[in-house]
Amino acid sequence: MRLIGNKTHGDLAEIGIAEFINQFMYDFKSVHIGKDLFRAKEHEEDIVIINEITKSKFPVSLKAYGDGPLQLSTDRDQKMFPYLERQGKRITDRKKIVKIFSSSAFSEFNNINVMPLIYDEKNKRCNIMVFDHEKASRQTTQILYIGKGKNLTSHGKGKSRKHPIFMFLDKDNSYICEVRYGGASANALQRGLWTQTKNATNYFDSITNGWIDYSHNHTLVKLFSLALNSTEAGHEEANKILQKDIEKLKKT
């Protein structure tokens, strides 16, 4: 999907995963939340998964990112950073850390339903990784303020930083995640809750049981280009052929 474009592969992943659930995960169905419904979203979800037995629903945010920085929450109400500022620049008291994670400002942290689709384009491999927020909150032993232009050398963070962050570390001084500045001058990449798939590997579980090698599928790109230049009647015929192929896959 990256072959089609940097700005479209995430959207294609959303509709692809939603259809995968509908086709292959029995007793579950998925609804894709279109971008036109963004303002009506209760969470930062891209799809909603419904258990057809219990009728329970839960939102999932899909993130298609390269191996490296990963945004877990946009913190759209800008609560996290101001709250941490009021707690101090170096927080090591465990009771205080527990209080931070249980605060209303960090409610989004405790409700992360993010499924990151991580790709390593150089080595042509991908991984579906889930951030273990419960483990992260349990093992955080210090929260440090890293100021503008500052750096925590052992983690390579903050170099030439335009905005400050609060970095979360464990007992081994290993990186877990960070809360970025969320003021008026910050863009989407300079605010919210972030982690690093390379530096915080101990806090991720891999759904795919590690990295999966892939190769470019130029046939799929051709399929999209033809679909965009054909009629709806042609789409219907193509859908029938593709559905037959999916039925064969279900039997294997």
Does pLDDT of 135 surpass 50?
Answer: yes
Residue with the two structure tokens 């809360």: 179
More confident residue, 122 or 4: 122
| Full 3-state SS string of 84-113 | HHHHCCEECCHHHHHHHHCCHHHCCHHHCC
Does pLDDT of 40 surpass 60?
Answer: no
Does pLDDT of 13 surpass 90?
Answer: no
The backbone torsions φ and ψ at residue 161, rounded to the nearest 5 degrees and listed phi first, read -70, 130
| pTM of the complete model | 0.81
Does pLDDT of 245 surpass 90?
Answer: yes
Q: Output the pLDDT for position 5.
A: 67
Range of the domain at 98: 68-108+133-199
In a domain, 176, yes or no: yes
In a domain, 36, yes or no: no
Does pLDDT of 188 surpass 90?
Answer: no
Terminal CA-to-CA distance of the chain, rounded, Å?
Answer: 25
Residue 20: band (very low, low, confident or very high) from pLDDT cuts 50, 70, 90 = very high
In a domain, 162, yes or no: yes
Give residue-wise pLDDT tens across range 220-238. Answer: 999 999 999 999 999 999 9
Give residue-wise pLDDT tens across range 84-102. Answer: 999 999 999 999 999 999 9
In a domain, 208, yes or no: no
In a domain, 193, yes or no: yes
Does pLDDT of 62 surpass 60?
Answer: yes
In a domain, 215, yes or no: no
Q: Output the pLDDT for position 155.
A: 46
Q: Output the pLDDT for position 184.
A: 64
| Paired sense of beta strands 175-180 and 165-169, if any | antiparallel
Q: Mean pLDDT over residues 158-182, rounded?
A: 85
In a domain, 49, yes or no: no
Residue 158: band (very low, low, confident or very high) from pLDDT cuts 50, 70, 90 = very low
In a domain, 78, yes or no: yes
Total number of domains in the chain:
1
